[in-house]
Structure 1
């Protein structure tokens, strides 16, 4: 035994935590509502707020996509280690 071990439950748990954070971020009330620039009473302020809102949405979408990809890779890594452990156990059983 090399002394190297990976806890696949931890990897899968981390993936689940990342997904939960993404769901919370994407489902945030801040993203569901959009301020009406006209109601702000100042054209420049309204335009600036709309621009900020658009940029924030793009940034959050990119962050969510990256985080989702990270979670997917954590799951893939856990699966690869689980398969390697299963294969090692099969070989060990074969050679007694």
Structure 2
């Protein structure tokens, strides 16, 4: 489960939130957030979803066979292979969503 929790910790810290602030926004106790982040127990899916949503994240299931391609796509900023670069390039999905 740690590989799924790590992005939540990174997102919480990037948002400048304490564990207590995230807990408040997610409707959880600070102790629950602390235990989830430290892998002290295996949280319910609903707990992880509430933490993610409070951070503005939406977890997504990706077929195992496509994981590397999806990760590469996201790391590239949402640009497809052979997309032109520079000012003439269409905006990536990441740029579009960032508005």
* Greater length-normalized contact order (CA 8 Å, ≥ 6 residues apart): 1
The TM-score, its normalising length taken from structure 2, stands at 0.24
The TM-score, its normalising length taken from structure 1, stands at 0.25
Structure exhibiting the larger radius of gyration computed from Cα positions: 1
